[in-house]
Amino acid sequence: MKKPRILKNGIAVAGLILIFLYVMISIVSIFYLPFDPTAMDAKAILQAPSLSSGHLFGTDEFGRDVLSRIMKGTSVSFIISVSATAFGAVVGIFMGVWAGYLGGRIDNIIMRIADILFSFPSLLLAIFIMAILGEHTYNVVLAIGIVYIPQFARISRGSIIALKSNEYIRAAKSNGAGRSYILAHHLLPNITAPLIVQISLSLSTAILLESALSFLGLGIQPPNPSWGNMLSSARKVMLFAPWTAIYPGLAIVLLVLGFNLLGDGLRDILDPRLRNVR
């Protein structure tokens, strides 16, 4: 069997490897963690990373092992990122596709709603929603998901509009094909390319958004570890215990990088114009 296109692209592969690494860590963390992530140890407060103490990434202001907390935070980050993106994508694509296909007043109304959501900077909107709903994990998913709706709506609408005027669509219509049939069989399959790219972008941004929210105290609440709230509590000690800030941040960077590499590689594959210029 021929090698799938995706594996030929070095960048996408690099991304997949990083993501896979994190998935592994996430799974492992269910069964094994070097230390209990919420166990406090008054004798081990703010210890620098060392092999002998077993705290490979050091300890935080309560004596908790940083590495264990980072590992525990991995599953949380994944779940939030995937759920929020799924929510935003499903609702956004639904809105955008109907708006694009039906046009007219419905299009106007749907896009007005999307515009109103879109008129807030993402972080501000998420902060606002979290303030109203309260700081629970499921609300973080909701908040980020709502932020994503307009983007998915716009992209899917734009693609549908561009496709609608296509020859074969008109042919299908004149042959008597029903609306839903055309939608399902001709339109949807062809808008997947830009959506896939947007999805990978959203997965990466979701992690950044969640950590920003937790950083500001509006996301995952301590003592549950989230990379964002670890960075937040590290703020006051980071000048003399930099490891408490460096490692959680690094964890964020590498996972987000993984999603971004994947998205980039996918874009390379799916957008033939950019494949080779010379």
Partner 1 sequence: MKRNIFVLALVLVLAMTFVVAKGTKEEAKSVSSTLTVGVDQEAVGLDPHIVTAFSSMRRLDLLYNRLVRLDENMKVVPDLAESWEIPDNLTYIFHLRKGVKFHNGREMVASDVKYSLERVLDPKTASPGASYIAPIERIDIVDQYTVKLTLSSPLASLLDALTSNNISIVPREVVEKEGNLQRVAVGTGPYMLKEWVQDNSMTLERNPDYFEEGYPVSDTIIFRVIPEQASLYAGVRSGSIDVATINDGAVVRQASADKSVVVLNKPGMNVRVFAFNNKRAPFNDVRVRQAIALTLDRSEILTMAEYGMGSATGPVPISASEWAIAPDKLPLGTVDHARAKALLAEAGYPNGFTFDIVCSATYEGGLDVAQVVQNELKAIGLTANLDVVEWGNYIDRWVKRDFDTMIELRGGSSEPDRFLYRSLHSTGGVNNFQFADSETDRLLELGREQTDPAQRKATYDKLQEVLSEKAPLVFLYCPNESHVISSAVKGFVQVGNGSLFYLTRASVEK
Partner 2 sequence: MGKYIVKRLLSLIPVLIGVSLIVFFLVRLIPGTALQMYMGTQVEATPAQLEELKRLFGEDRPIPVLYFEWMGNLLKGDFGHSLRTGRPVLPDILSRLPISLELTIYSLLLALIIGIPLGVLSSLRQNTTGDFINRIIGLIGLSLPQFWLAALLVIGFSHTQGWIPMGNYVPITKAPLVNLKMFFLPSLAIGFGFAAVVMRYTRNSMLEVMQADYVRTAKAKGLPYRKVIMIHALKNAILPVITVTGFNAGYLLGGSIVIEEVFALPGMGRLALYAINQRDYPVLQAIILVIATLFVLVNLVTDLLYAWADPRIRLDEQR
Q: How far apart are CA 13 and CA 101, in angstroms?
A: 36
**From residue 4, how far is each of 9, 12, 269 by CA, in Å?**
10, 12, 11
Residue 132 interacting with partner 2 (CB under 8 A): yes
Smallest distance from the beta carbon of 31 to partner 2, in angstroms? Answer: 28
Of the listed pieces 74-82, 88-96, 183-191, 248-256, which binds partner 2 according to CB under 8 A? Answer: 248-256
Q: Residue by residue, what is the 3-state secondary structure of 38-99?
A: CCCCHHHCCCCCCCCCCCCCCECCCCCEHHHHHHHHHHHHHHHHHHHHHHHHHHHHHHHHHH
Which of partner 2, partner 1, none does residue 221 bind to, with CB < 5 to 8 Å depending on kind? partner 1
Residue (of 15, 32, 46, 1) closest to 264 by Cα position:
15
Q: How far apart are CA 191 and CA 175, in angstroms?
A: 22
Q: Which of residues 197-226 bind partner 2 (CB under 8 A)?
A: 204, 208, 211-212, 215-216
103 is written with which tokens? 């046009």
Residue 24 interacting with partner 2 (CB under 8 A): no
CB 80 within 8 A of CB 147: no
Smallest distance from the beta carbon of 70 to partner 1, in angstroms? Answer: 18
Residue 238 interacting with partner 1 (CB under 8 A): yes
How many chain residues bind partner 2 (CB under 8 A)? 49
**What x/- string results for residues 178 through 217 when contact with partner 1 is judged by CB under 8 A?**
---------------------------------------x
- Among 93, 110, 195, 256, contact with partner 2 (rule: CB under 8 A): 256
Q: In sequence order, what are the beta bridge partners of 59?
A: 65
Residue 272 interacting with partner 2 (CB under 8 A): no
Residues that bind partner 1 (CB under 8 A): 40, 42, 45-46, 61-62, 131, 134-135, 217-218, 221-223, 232, 235-240
